[in-house]
Homo-oligomer: A and B are copies of this chain.
């Protein structure tokens, strides 16, 4: 059964090989001051920075440079970015990069004119913005987080060793996003496969919850199969446009507020992964991969029916044996695909050590929408099995 909900996703997407041509049209809608947000500089190497800058200058914009945003953007960096936007009266925040850059842009958007401490207000107390919001636009260079068409924003507080996400409303979502699959070609393979698993896990987080037979379940299964099919082609040839375009499009729909409508969701893998990330600064998708199987094997007995459905519908497991046996074969198939992609399958390889387990467990938020509400002991057990 679908519960009550509101759906509103006004982000305009320009998709394909000529997607950047849409930027000029969008820029007309905003004032002169554009804060150009990007990461470590790879966009300067592959030429995207130059392309974007030329369009900005041709449109007569004042460019406020805000480069060097780190992969897990911090609350400290957020304060600097917010101050910059306020000082230069930013009319548009243009994020050019992957999920971290886009998440950071949304955080700056609601923080520039925030009288409170943004970390405390948004990421600790989960309050809604009450101040002026600066519009965000996005030029995506990595497929994975879905940040290009949602209100999600994850920020890390290094001092407190916390990595927390807030999902803002449609007024904070990017006004537009430019999605050119070719912009993801130069991404190192490790980043590509981490992004692919991030996509797949976004779908899992929304799928492994509830007992209903909803449209969403079927859409999730379709998207998962699409990701698996395209991932194998992209692994073989990263410049396979069919594969990369489908991965990019799947990423957007895996987390743009469609799949969670009217149903419960889990998100415990993300909570575990983000806690690992707060301790190791490891790539987000890899932290998810490293904790997924111990977690899913642990909760499987509480959601056998759905894990059985996952096995049969997504992995075409033969319907022979008990429900639990069929369900377990689905997780085996998932594990084999993850290894095939070359994902990091344990948190030790991400830099986590046994003596961090208690701290990571402390930093793990417990969700109540999945098949099992974890106790502290269960979290520790799962983390130890992930080592």
Interface, chain A (partner B; CB < 8 A): 1-19, 22, 181, 212-215, 217-223, 225-226, 229-230, 241-242, 245-246, 249-250, 253, 258, 261-262
Name 5 interchain pairs, CB-CB below 8 A, sorted by A.
A1-B242, A4-B16, A6-B13, A8-B13, A214-B246
Contacts A8-B12, A13-B7, A242-B213 hold; do A2 and B249 have CB atoms under 8 A apart? yes
Question: Chain B's nearest CB lies how many Å from the CB of A159?
Answer: 40
Question: Chain B's nearest CB lies how many Å from the CB of A106?
Answer: 19
Question: Chain B's nearest CB lies how many Å from the CB of A320?
Answer: 16
- In the complex, the answer to whether B4 meets A18 with C-beta atoms within 8 Å is yes
Residues of B within 8 A of A8 (CB): 10-13
- In the complex, the answer to whether B262 meets A249 with C-beta atoms within 8 Å is yes
13 further A-B contacts with Cβ under 8 Å, apart from A4-B16, A214-B242, A218-B229, are A2-B15, A2-B242, A2-B249, A213-B229, A213-B230, A213-B246, A217-B226, A218-B222, A219-B219, A219-B222, A219-B223, A249-B262, A253-B258
Contacts A218-B222, A242-B212, A250-B215 hold; do A5 and B16 have CB atoms under 8 A apart? yes
* Dominant secondary structure at the A interface: mixed
With CB as the reference atom, state the residue of chain B lying closest to A13: B7
With CB as the reference atom, state the residue of chain B lying closest to A227: B215
Q: In whole angstroms, how far apart are the Cα atoms of A16 and B10 in the complex?
A: 21
- In the complex, the answer to whether A14 meets B22 with C-beta atoms within 8 Å is no
Q: In whole angstroms, how far apart are the Cα atoms of A141 and B366 in the complex?
A: 40
Contacts A214-B246, A222-B222 hold; do A241 and B1 have CB atoms under 8 A apart? yes
- In the complex, the answer to whether B4 meets A17 with C-beta atoms within 8 Å is yes
With CB as the reference atom, state the residue of chain B lying closest to A149: B7
- In the complex, the answer to whether A215 meets B10 with C-beta atoms within 8 Å is no
Residues of B within 8 A of A11 (CB): 8
- In the complex, the answer to whether B215 meets A249 with C-beta atoms within 8 Å is yes
Question: Chain B's nearest CB lies how many Å from the CB of A346?
Answer: 30
Question: A262 is contacted by which of B5, B16, B226, B258 (Cβ under 8 Å)?
Answer: B16
Q: In whole angstroms, how far apart are the Cα atoms of A221 and B222 in the complex?
A: 7
- In the complex, the answer to whether B219 meets A215 with C-beta atoms within 8 Å is no
With CB as the reference atom, state the residue of chain B lying closest to A228: B218
Q: In whole angstroms, how far apart are the Cα atoms of A241 and B2 in the complex?
A: 8
With CB as the reference atom, state the residue of chain B lying closest to A220: B222
Residues of B within 8 A of A249 (CB): 2, 214-215, 261-262
Question: Chain B's nearest CB lies how many Å from the CB of A170?
Answer: 8
